[in-house]
């Protein structure tokens, strides 16, 4: 599939994932009550969201990330290796494969996954160069 076309479709699918019911269910599952203080200085129980990796309490839903435990693009693979159907199936998964993470944990996990993909791409290119070398 053409890479530019795939990226266009991917962008739209990611937007649609934001309204995916299973995503809302994962967020709902991460809710916890924690003490807070209102504007008048009175204590009350406020809803927070718990990072499923480090346990940090995220005060605002806008500050959390819903992460695929098993990445949409599997470790060691690239989008170029995937069909659109496979991508959609992995993006719109069950809640069992979704977790709520704080920004720090999500960024760390994403970087780790991207580094692994970059290494695989470099290794593939190296194999192509070596494979194309006839040894004359």
Q: For residue range 59-106, list pLDDT tens digits in order.
A: 999 999 999 999 999 887 878 788 899 999 999 999 999 999 999 999
Q: Give the pTM.
A: 0.82
What pLDDT sits at residue 133? 60
Q: Does position 113 have pLDDT exceeding 80, yes or no?
A: yes
Confidence at 53, pLDDT banded by 50, 70, 90 = very high
Q: Is residue 70 part of a domain?
A: yes
Q: Is residue 135 part of a domain?
A: no
What pLDDT sits at residue 134? 54
Q: How many structural domains compose the chain?
A: 1
Q: Is residue 133 part of a domain?
A: no
Contact predicate 36/106, CB 8 Å: no
Which has more pLDDT, 42 or 132? 42
Q: Is residue 130 part of a domain?
A: no
What pLDDT sits at residue 63? 95
Q: Is residue 112 part of a domain?
A: yes
Q: Does position 31 have pLDDT exceeding 90, yes or no?
A: yes
Range list of H helices, the chain? 3-17, 21-29, 84-91, 103-132
Residues ≥6 apart with Cβ < 8 Å to 17:
23, 91, 92
- Residue 45 belongs to domain spanning: 3-125
Contact predicate 10/87, CB 8 Å: yes
Give the pair of three-digit tokens for residue 57: 């309490």
Confidence at 123, pLDDT banded by 50, 70, 90 = confident
Contact predicate 50/57, CB 8 Å: yes
Q: Is residue 31 part of a domain?
A: yes
How many angstroms from the chain centroid is the CA of residue 80?
18
Q: Is residue 23 part of a domain?
A: yes
Q: Is residue 16 part of a domain?
A: yes
């Amino acid at each position: 599939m053409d890479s530019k076309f795939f990226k266009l479709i991917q962008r739209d699918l990611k937007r649609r994932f934001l309204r995916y019911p299973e995503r809302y269910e994962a967020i709902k599952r991460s809710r916890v009550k924690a003490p807070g203080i209102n504007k008048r200085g009175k204590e009350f129980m406020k809803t927070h969201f718990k990072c499923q990796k480090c346990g940090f309490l995220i005060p605002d839903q806008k500050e959390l990330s819903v992460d695929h435990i098993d990445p949409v693009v599997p470790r060691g693979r690239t989008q170029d290796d995937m069909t659109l159907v496979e991508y959609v199936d992995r993006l719109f998964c069950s809640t069992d494969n979704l977790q709520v993470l704080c920004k720090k944990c999500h960024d760390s996990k994403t970087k780790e996954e991207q580094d692994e993909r970059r290494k695989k791409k470099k290794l593939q290119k190296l194999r192509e160069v070596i494979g194309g070398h006839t040894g004359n």
